[in-house]
A and B are shown apart, each in its own frame.
Chain A
Amino acid sequence: MKGRKGAKAPAQPRVRAEFSRSAHNALVAGDDLYFVMERDKAVHVISSSCPHRGGPLHLGDVDGDRLRCPWHGGLFPVGRLCDRSHPSVRVGDTVTVYLPAGEHDPVPVHTMVRAGVDAA
Chain B
Amino acid sequence: MTTSTSPDSAFGNLTEESVRYSRLSQFRSTSEPFIPNNPYHRPLNPERVAELDWSRPLDEETFASDRSLLANRLLMNVYESDALFLPAAGLRTFEDDFSAFYHSDSRLAGERIRPQMERFAFGFLDDSVGVSGQWDEDTLRAHLRHSVDQANSPGSRPVFDAIRAAKSPRIAAGTQIVQMALDGLTEATAMSQNLGGAFGPEQSELFKIFVDEFGYGVFPAKHSTLFMELCSSVGMATTSHHYWFFYLPSSIAINNYFYWATRNRTGFFRYIGAMAFLEATFASWFGDLTKVFRDVYGDAVDTRYCDEHAHIDQHHGRMAIDDLLIPLARKHGPVAVKGLLQGVEEIQLLDRLAGADLLAQLTWDPALSDAPADGPAGVVVELDSDSAFDTQVAPAATRLHVLGGEALLYTSATGDPLRVPQGRSVVVPAGRLYGVRAEGRTQLATGPAA
Contact = CB atoms under 8 A, between A and B. Distances in A.
Contact of A54 (B208, B216, B312, B315): B216
A73 B315 contact: yes
A70 B205 CA distance: 9
A87 B56 CA distance: 73
A41 interface: no
A71 B318 CA distance: 12
Interface in A53-110: 53-54, 70-73
Contacts of B351: none
A72 B315 contact: yes
Nearest to A70: B208
B212 interface: yes
Interface in B57-90: none
A73 B216 contact: no
Contacts of B315: 72-73
Interface in B187-216: 208, 211-212, 216
B341 interface: no
Contacts of B216: 53-54
A49 to B, nearest CB: 11
B221 to A, nearest CB: 9
A23 B44 CA distance: 64
B125 interface: no
A53 B318 contact: no
B319 interface: yes
A53 B316 CA distance: 14
A73 B319 contact: yes
How large, as a class, is the contact surface on chain A? Answer: under 10
A72 B319 CA distance: 7
Interface string A17-40: 000000000000000000000000
A71 B323 CA distance: 11
A74 to B, nearest CB: 9
A72 B208 CA distance: 8
Contact of B318 (A54, A70, A73): A73
B212 A53 contact: yes
Nearest to B314: A72
A52 to B, nearest CB: 9
A72 B212 CA distance: 10
A51 to B, nearest CB: 14
A32 to B, nearest CB: 15
B282 to A, nearest CB: 15
A53 B212 CA distance: 9
Nearest to A54: B216
A70 B211 CA distance: 12
A77 B208 CA distance: 23
A71 B204 CA distance: 10
A53 B319 CA distance: 15
Interface string B286-319: 0000000000000000000000000010010011
A73 B319 CA distance: 9
Contacts of A53: 212, 216
A46 to B, nearest CB: 20
A61 to B, nearest CB: 12
Contacts of A54: 216
B94 to A, nearest CB: 36
14 contacts: A53-B212, A53-B216, A54-B216, A70-B208, A71-B208, A71-B211, A71-B212, A72-B208, A72-B312, A72-B315, A72-B319, A73-B315, A73-B318, A73-B319
Given A71-B208, A73-B319, 12 more contacts: A53-B212, A53-B216, A54-B216, A70-B208, A71-B211, A71-B212, A72-B208, A72-B312, A72-B315, A72-B319, A73-B315, A73-B318
Kindly list the 8 A-B residue pairs having the minimum CB-CB distance in the complex, ordered from nearest.
Answer: A72-B315, A71-B208, A54-B216, A72-B319, A53-B216, A73-B315, A53-B212, A70-B208
